[in-house]
Chains A and B, each alone.
Chain A
Amino acid sequence: MRWMILVIAGFCLTTSPAEAAHIGIPCSSCHRHGGSASNPASRVNRASGCTVCHRGHERVFDHAMGQRIGEKEFVQRSYARFDSGFWDKNCNSCHLKGCLDCHGDGWLAKPSVAACQRCHNGYFTGWDYAGRAPREDNMRYQRGIAVNGATFLKMLPDVHYSAGMTCGACHSMASLAKGEKSSKGCRDCHIPSLKVPEHRISAHLQRLECYACHSAWAPQEYGTFFLRFRDPAMKEDFYLKPGPSAEYLRSAYLKKQDVPPLGINAAGRISPIRPMFIAYYTDVMTARNNGPENTLLAAEWRAYFPHTVQRGTVTCEGCHDNPTRFLLEPEARRIYNLEKDGMGLESFWLQQGQRMSNGSFMDTARYLRMSSKTPAYTKAYVAKWKTFLNRVENSSRP
């Protein structure tokens, strides 16, 4: 493989390496392997060329991005019950193959937000950071600006994104190698100001994740459908966005991107939650032969951190007078009639028949306690609105 090393060396010398750190390092320091292991950044050899210096970073392959255990286990307990090849057909495009998956832009550069978003897009956290929410799957809604062929609804981007911060600012390589979700939490940089009325309520600071209030919006998919077409001709009447598999089309009963529901995360703190996934399966051929369809395979929610942080929040009522946000929807406020559509659930916003995969739903008694109008609540509430209204003008601009 001497010729290959020469080609790579030539390339190194004729381009401008963005990373000055690699200039002057002998080619063979990285490219010391030959044969099929000639790619020094490949997962196949655990990035042996890179880890000579970047010791321990190969451990990233052992964690979430490399293994995707959570996703695999979900598929195993849901769609794989009907199609053992489901994972390979529908989920394999975001497979970490080596260091260059993220560091390949601009020649060994630190990953840009766009580099992370090559995988962290669509319903997965990352796209939201730049103000992108998935559109409905019907081609009627597949319009407008697109990145890498994927269209999105234009949303308010995260304040950190607007300030020019990349994902790496909070998700260092060291933290990823350790299998940690991030290297920095909100309070590593921010001290909650007591000038903010909500911050003066101790329960808020003790029991809530910062992002329970400061996530301005979150993509939410209610009823994820995978439709299996053993014969592609059967897709004819399904005017839906094509996916990675010729055998499948994906759709949803409903997508929303307003403030997310709340639940309790694994740390016991109140956090945004979202369906991941309320999963349905139809094998079109079977269904056309009077077989089962719209089989509800899972109704699972996850606590998570939408990357849609803003200084502002919803008003007090957004949580304290909003049982639906805790999946305690009163029947009088029900809009979608799932039972009539044979969806196997009474409502997406009712806890019955659903579960949290990394935490728990808020129980009714706790919600009632939280929403009771105690004197303390009333005082804080009035103070909050007074502070706001005192600074609102009577005039307006048409």
Chain B
Amino acid sequence: MLAAGCTPAPPTSTCVACHKGLESASARHSDCVACHGGDPQARDKIQSHASLRGPANPSAPETWEEACGKCHRYQLERVKANIMQTNAGMIRNIQQTWEGADGKEYTTRGGKAFDPTGKAVETVPVAQLDNLSGELYRKFCSRCHIGTTNGDSYAAAHGSGCAACHFPWNETATYEGNDKVMKGKAGHSANHGMTPLPDTQVCSRCHNRSGRIALSYQGLYDGNNGLVPTKSGEAGPTMTSGARNLTHITPDVHFAAGMECIDCHTSREVMGDGYSYRNMYLQTEISCEDCHGGAAELPRYREITRENDEALRESRSYKQPVTSGMRMIQTTKGRNYANVFYKDGVVWLQGKRSGRLHRSKVITGTPEHTVVGHRRLECYSCHSHTSVQCYGCHTKYDKAKAGMDFINGEETSGAFSETEDYRMLYPFPLALNQRGRISPVTPGCQTFVTVAEADGALSKAEYIAKFKGAQQLRFAPFYSHNTGKKALGCVECHGNPAFLGFGQHIVESNSIKGTLICERSDRKPLDGFLTMTNGRVNAYSAITREHARPLSGAEVKRTLSVNLCLPCHDKARDPIYRKGINLRALDDTRHRRLLSDY
């Protein structure tokens, strides 16, 4: 940490002479040359800039070894293996959606890495993925890769490398700081002040598509896309990238309480922990239970006893750094949070940027959370207020048009375009996730592929790719980040088969029929993955991730059977739910008398 980045700029620097007013990156990052390179003595601009790293952004992967990596080696090595840098999960999921995996592991840049077991793995650069899924990643999805700059997407622009998260970008990617030379120039951060702790807006620059968690978290919704209500006569009320308008929905309770993304998500999640994960959900180390406790297990904590505890280092930039002796709450992976601690019988979370203390409600042992049949539920199955679902993603690849390959930096033949069928927020289907727990699922993806050859002929038309051996659409386990103040009611979920995956529907005798139908079939619902015909449950779509699946017929029947109890026993704290439901109780004298006249 005593390298050049931490020393002041030489007073005679021509950098400072020309870029008068440019903000210092931080008090400890005031030497231009240490980060940017260049010749600080040369008076000629071209000569002075000749050896710049970047040239504007030294933190980009091309130069980050010599720039940020000189001092921040630990962080850089983690970021290099980070899922946001490798995009391994995104590429893998696209492959599975489009062409099927080919046995190789692809990442944005390829190279050696270590998997979570410590085993060395060799990954292949995505530039070599020579098929439609490679094209889709390079021309569409890679815009949200932290290793490439996106300087032209309204409200979604970001720098490349460390600057993607640690420099502030505005909606138009325009410099608006005090350096007159740079003022008004596009493709730059809003100013030159480094932000050690990224705010929610930084995360929103990328996490506003696909699962759209940053939007749902803030109470924003880009569905429907009606471009109304207008704002000063323009499309509105708020516009974001891709000509999408954002309307307001009820935000996540944590957002409403003033919490930002990084208040829950640890730096090991957002910057990586040094291991190369196959999917985002494997790099994630937090869960609701960490702060709120599980049904039977209280939140776990560990006292800081060593001076090299990660929490001490990580909290240095927090409003209130943690200190030795504090009892830090642990993540699901058994590591310390740097901002959540246990004190006087209470779990407290400190807003990393705000310093505000939030008292966490611990639910362990409460009757509502010890319902026997709910042992397998993820917290957010009941506590999600909404869960965004995009139905029918119709993607066209037109070889007669040219599209920008953002990984190779060149325009090549083949451009993508996308249309959609339907968007909704509530109700949302549930299924078993990779942890064997019942979780909300969302289309992931319902991709229908059309490929137009250069002569206009369609070599694929509304094609559904094979997944797990069959042509089928897919749903993915999902936490929407739109947690409600109040959980779903018992009847709300048990009495509405849409929550089990039947989509919007009607119940007819012993059949459940979807009412929103897939264009490719008269029998299958578009917004679900189950139907019931003559008492038999049929599953049509796959749930992605290992071991994940829709509920079975027996599970569906068991869930719906609770309706026999609910009109009288309508509270989760009712003692009958402390043990498994005995439906034969309906035949005892008391119940028979109650139900006899009908």
| A→B interface (CB under 8 Å) | 131, 135-138, 140-145, 153-156, 216-217, 223, 225, 227, 234, 237-240, 251-255, 257-259, 280, 282, 284-290, 293-294, 308, 310-318, 321, 332-338, 340-343, 373, 375, 377-383, 385-386, 388-389, 391-398
Indicate if the CB atoms of A223 and B228 lie closer than 8 Å: yes
Q: Select which of B419, B511, B597 is within 8 A of A312 by beta carbon.
A: B511
Interface contact B515-A225, CB-CB below 8 Å: no
Cβ of A225 to closest chain B Cβ, rounded Å: 4
Q: Specify the chain A residue showing the minimal Cβ separation from B486.
A: A332
Q: Which of B553-596 contact A (CB under 8 A)?
A: 553-554, 556-557, 560-561, 563-564, 567-568, 570, 586, 594-595
Residues of A within 8 A of B492 (CB): 317, 321
Q: Mark B280-308 against chain A: 1 for CB-CB distance below 8 A, else 0.
A: 00000000000000000000000000000
In the assembled complex, which residues on chain B have CB atoms less than 8 Å from the CB atom of A310? Answer: 506, 508, 513
Contact B485 A332 (CB under 8 A): yes
Contacts of A396 in B (CB 8 A): 536-539, 552-554, 556
When chains A and B are docked, how far (Å) is the Cα of A394 from the Cα of B164?
A: 52
The 7 A-B pairs with the shortest beta carbon distances in the complex, nearest first, are A312-B508, A396-B553, A287-B233, A317-B495, A288-B233, A391-B510, A312-B506
Q: How large is the interface on B (under 10, 10 to 19, 20 to 34, 35 or more residues)?
A: 35 or more
Instruction: Contact check, B598 vs A251: say whether CB atoms are below 8 A apart.
Output: no
**Does residue B22 face the partner (Cβ distance < 8 Å to A)?**
no
Smallest CB separation, B289 vs chain A (Å): 24
B231-254 contact mask (Cβ, 8 Å, vs A): 1 or 0: 111110100000100011110000
Interface contact A380-B226, CB-CB below 8 Å: no
Chain B residue numbers with a CB within 8 Å of A316 are 495
- For residue B532, CB closer than 8 A to chain A, the reply is yes
Residue from B426, B511, B534, B567 in contact with A378 in the complex, judged by beta carbons closer than 8 Å: B567
Shortest distance between the CB of A338 and any CB in chain B (Å): 8
B82: Cβ under 8 A from any A Cβ? no
Q: B407-446 vs A: 1/0 string, CB under 8 Å?
A: 0000000000011111101100000000000000000000
Q: Can you report 25 residue pairs joining A to B where beta carbons are below 8 Å apart? A: A138-B224, A138-B227, A140-B225, A143-B394, A144-B394, A154-B517, A217-B515, A223-B228, A225-B230, A255-B224, A293-B229, A293-B230, A321-B491, A341-B248, A342-B229, A342-B237, A379-B595, A380-B598, A382-B586, A385-B563, A388-B509, A388-B560, A392-B537, A395-B554, A396-B537
Find out whether the CB atom of A143 lies under 8 angstroms from the CB atom of B232.
no
Complex Cα gap A389–B497 (Å): 13
The interface residues of chain A lying within 8 Å CB-to-CB of B143 are: none
B386 contacts the other chain (CB 8 A): yes
- The residue in chain A whose Cβ has the minimal distance to the Cβ of B251 is A337
Chain B 507-530 per-residue mask, 1 if CB under 8 angstroms from chain A, else 0 = 111110111111100000010000
Chain B residues in the interface with A (C-beta under 8 A): 219, 221, 224-235, 237, 243, 247-250, 385-386, 394, 418-423, 425-426, 484-486, 489, 491-492, 495-497, 504, 506-511, 513-519, 526, 532, 534-539, 549, 552-554, 556-557, 560-561, 563-564, 567-568, 570, 586, 594-595, 597-598
Question: Besides the contacts A313-B506, A389-B557, what 19 more A-B pairs have beta carbons closer than 8 Å?
Answer: A136-B423, A140-B418, A141-B421, A143-B394, A156-B516, A284-B230, A285-B233, A293-B232, A314-B507, A321-B489, A378-B595, A379-B595, A385-B561, A391-B509, A392-B532, A393-B536, A393-B557, A394-B554, A396-B536
Q: What distance in Å separates the Cβ of B397 from its nearest Cβ neighbour in chain A?
A: 16
Take A310-B506, A337-B249, A377-B567 as given contacts and tell me if A253 and B224 are in contact as well, using a CB distance cutoff of 8 Å.
Answer: yes
Q: Which residues of A lie under 8 Å from residue B225 when comparing CB positions? A: 136, 138, 140-141
> How near does chain B come to A233, taking the closest CB pair, in angstroms?
13
By the criterion CB–CB under 8 Å, are B594 and A136 in contact? Answer: no
Task: With both chains docked as a complex, state the minimum distance between the C-beta of A287 and any C-beta of chain B, in angstroms.
Answer: 3
A-side contacts of B586, CB under 8 Å: 382
Give B540's nearest chain A residue, CB to CB.
A398
CA distance A311 to B512 in the complex (A): 11
A385 touching B224, Cβ below 8 Å: no
Q: Is there an interface contact between B421 and A143, defined as CB atoms closer than 8 Å?
A: yes
For residue A162, which residue of chain B has the nearest CB? B522
Interchain CA distance A293-B549 in the complex, whole Å:
48
Within 8 Å CB of B489, what residues of A?
A: 321
Asked if A314 and B506 sit within 8 Å, CB to CB, the answer is: yes
A239 touching B243, Cβ below 8 Å: yes
Given contacts A284-B233, A287-B232, A312-B509, contact A145 B249 (CB under 8 A): no
| Contact across chains for A140 and B419 when beta carbons are under 8 A apart | yes
Closest to B508 in A: A312
A386 CB contacts on chain B under 8 angstroms: 564
- Residues from chain A with a CB closer than 8 A to the CB of B538 are 396-397
Q: Tell me whether A317 and B496 are in contact (CB under 8 A).
A: yes
Report yes or no: B510 in contact with A388, Cβ–Cβ below 8 A.
Answer: yes
Closest CB-CB distance, A200 to chain B, in whole Å? 8
- Residues of A contacting B508 with CB < 8 Å? 310-313
Residues of B within 8 A of A383 (CB): 595, 598
Contacts of A234 in B (CB 8 A): 233
